[in-house]
Amino acid sequence: MFHSKILVTLRKSILDPQGKAVEHGVHSLGYTKVKNVRIGKYVELNVDAPTEQEAERITKEVSEKLLTNPVMEDFTFTVEKISS
């Protein structure tokens, strides 16, 4: 069994209105040195696979087919073996 951690972010070329709203809020609290706020998604899942390579393949396919919009978003992930 493997545990996958997936981070989905908007591509740098895509405007991030949520990030801008958070940045504005942070500035209104007096933290004016905070810049370039971007909002993303974080997903964790367990994959019952015989090998780490298979767990990585499944995680990548799930990310590409379901968790991200490939036109607007990028993703990175890590896979760790779960101790029995």
C-beta neighbour count of 59 within 10 angstroms:
24
Please name the helix (run of DSSP H) or strand (run of DSSP E) that holds residue 80, with its range, or none.
strand 73-81
Q: Measure the CA angle with vertex 27, ends 23 and 28; round to 5°.
A: 115
* CATH superfamily, with its number, for domain 2-14+40-81: Phosphoribosylformylglycinamidine synthase subunit PurS (3.30.1280.10)
Looking at residue 57, its amino acid is R
Token code pair at residue 13? 């070329």
The structural domains of the chain, with segments of one domain joined by +, span: 2-14+40-81
Q: What pLDDT digit, counting tens, does each position of 14-41 carry?
A: 999 999 999 999 999 999 999 999 999 9
Q: Measure the CA angle with vertex 53, ends 51 and 59; round to 5°.
A: 105
pTM flag (> 0.85): yes
